[in-house]
Amino acid sequence: MTDAPHLSNEATGAETLIETLVDCGVDTCFTNPGTSEMHVVAAIDKVPGMRPILALFEGVATGAADGYARMAGKPASTLLHLGPGLANGIANLHNAKRAGSGIVNIVGDHATYHGKYDAPLTSDIRSLASPVSSWVKSAPDAASLAPLAAEAVAEANRSPGHIATLLVPADSAWDVARMAAKSLAPSAPPRVAEADIVAAAKRLKGAAKPVILVGGPATYEEGLKLAGQIAEATGATLYSDTFNKRVQRGAGRVAAAPVPYFGEMALDAMAGSDLMLVIGTKAPVAFFAYPGKPSSLVPEGCEVLELCEREADINAALSDLATELDAHKIKPALQPLNRPDVPASGALDSVSIGNSIGALLPEGAIVADEGVSNGLWSYILTAGSAPHDWLNLTGGAIGMGMPLATGAAVAVPDRKVVCLEGDGSGMYTVQALWTQARENLDVTTVIFNNGAYQILNIEYDRVGVGAPGEKATSMLSLNEPVLDWVKIAEGMGVEAVRVDTAEGFTAAFAAAMAQKGPRLIEAIVP
């Protein structure tokens, strides 16, 4: 127990909860509270140090917590309203879980004695929380709230980041508890055994055409540099996961090609490899199954060696492997500065947008990418831009981009955030724009408005059911009516502009890069 300098002897459980979170380094709360959380709201008011950020929908709060964790390198908290409030946040918690982002969810619950009455908002919160949490506990009384909060933070900080969900019955929040809890020592990520390092080095050296696949924290600058040295030392080709928590890339950094999304392209790319060394992730699998196509994306005849999953001390493993291969002094292949030319004029499409972004992306920018079928060109064409961070949709649950950008901008307010967003995916959590306006976050959102769930038109063809008829087309189209993103953004307080030419996009994007604050560019694309 700590001295809890801000707490009186009459401190409520909720106050000890907030004090403990703040003491443990969790000082940001993405929130959408309800009646059962009012004592926690009051505690945020009373106890110094916790910044509340209101979201108008819980999926915004959880997605923002993910973006915050990816950029701050530590967890934020969320404050959610019982089972349904948590449920609204589950899709983005799923993405955060897949990213390995640390989050502490504070979920209000009915008072312990009230549960048996089965009031309208009663539900099985544990059943809802478990699929997206590695830790779910409920505080049976006020005194247990603070120690459980410390435990939750420790779990959220466990490498590479985990989701801890703490259920807070209303009486545990409002009863007197008095003392906050000390933060718990973080658990050290497990080291990879020396024998495994030695074996991996030997296998790499013996392979004719090895690939190294990195994921998790291995896509940060330091990990990629070590992986680049190892690749250079062994002639291996370096890949990353298709969708990553955070890739530090651009000029002066080691580049790792993402495994292509479509399985046949992935297998083609890696065909002929005889060894796949996997570090910080798992061997690649198809995002979806398709009739007659393989689920595993390991090429035939390629042996897989999984050195460690992402929970391990990744950088230590890479460093040990580099040592074993005597690779520390090797200069890895670094991406040269190589910006595309700004398109002078012409039609607007995902390629011209990629060119504009590649040319104009400022150093230190963060790109939150949910561009779906239109985002890939921007990824390709920013390869040689100034150094920046790229955040992917990790769990496939669309509706992540704008919340992720929101949280990233809260975490690092001095850096420009660019959100690449589909018109379809953007609508799931469109409320994020309001939070960007309220907090005056430095986020530029690019909406690829093609009037369709275009990826599904592609997938419809790929699953082999022929051409879509009238009803299927209606289910994959976003026309009738066309979404007007300028009005939607302005309705939530974000300045917006619509462009339909390459020069128009370039001008709008350049203007957005030159000033701070939220704005949205609606790019009309084919």
Query: What residues from 145 to 204 belong to the interface with a copy of itself (CB under 8 A)?
Result: 170-171, 174
* Residue 68 within binding range of a copy of itself, rule CB under 8 A: no
- Could you tell me the smallest distance in angstroms from the CB atom of residue 341 to a copy of itself? 34
Which residues, numbered 350-409, are part of the site for a copy of itself (CB under 8 A)?
A: 394-397, 399
* Residue 120 within binding range of a copy of itself, rule CB under 8 A: yes
The residue among 291 and 301 lying less far from a copy of itself, judged by its C-beta, is 291
Identify whether the C-beta of residue 257 lies closer than 8 Å to the C-beta of residue 239: yes
In whole angstroms, give the CA distance from residue 55 to residue 163: 19
Which is it for strands 76-80 and 135-138: parallel, antiparallel or unpaired?
unpaired
The residue among 39 and 339 lying less far from a copy of itself, judged by its C-beta, is 39
- Could you tell me the smallest distance in angstroms from the CB atom of residue 265 to a copy of itself? 16
* Residue 131 within binding range of a copy of itself, rule CB under 8 A: yes
Interface mask toward a copy of itself for 473-502; x: CB under 8 A:
-xxxxx-xxxxxxxxx-xxxx---------
* Residue 471 within binding range of a copy of itself, rule CB under 8 A: yes
The residue among 111 and 513 lying less far from a copy of itself, judged by its C-beta, is 111
Reported as type and span, the H/E element at residue 473 is helix 470-476
- Binder among 20, 28, 88, 105 for a copy of itself (CB under 8 A): 88
Orientation of helix 58-72 relative to helix 82-99, angle to 10°: 30
In whole angstroms, give the CA distance from residue 186 to residue 155: 8
* Residue 113 within binding range of a copy of itself, rule CB under 8 A: yes
* Residue 3 within binding range of a copy of itself, rule CB under 8 A: no
CA distances from 252 to 131, 318, 331, 363, 384 (A): 39, 19, 12, 12, 9
User: Which of the ranges 26-34, 272-280, 337-345, 355-363 carries the binding residues for a copy of itself, by CB under 8 A?
Assistant: 26-34
- Could you tell me the smallest distance in angstroms from the CB atom of residue 18 to a copy of itself? 11
Of the candidates 94, 88, 115, 102, the residue with the CA atom closest to the CA atom of residue 32: 88
**Token pair recorded at residue 23:** 């003491």
Which residues, numbered 259-298, are part of the site for a copy of itself (CB under 8 A)?
A: 282, 285-289, 291, 295-296
Side chain identity at residue 77, one-letter code: S
* Residue 107 within binding range of a copy of itself, rule CB under 8 A: no
- Could you tell me the smallest distance in angstroms from the CB atom of residue 239 to a copy of itself? 16
* Residue 143 within binding range of a copy of itself, rule CB under 8 A: no
In whole angstroms, give the CA distance from residue 283 to residue 298: 7
* Residue 251 within binding range of a copy of itself, rule CB under 8 A: no
Identify whether the C-beta of residue 526 lies closer than 8 Å to the C-beta of residue 502: no
Of the candidates 322, 325, 284, the residue with the CA atom closest to the CA atom of residue 306: 284
Identify whether the C-beta of residue 46 lies closer than 8 Å to the C-beta of residue 11: no
* Residue 118 within binding range of a copy of itself, rule CB under 8 A: yes
Side chain identity at residue 512, one-letter code: A
Reported as type and span, the H/E element at residue 496 is strand 495-499
* Residue 10 within binding range of a copy of itself, rule CB under 8 A: no
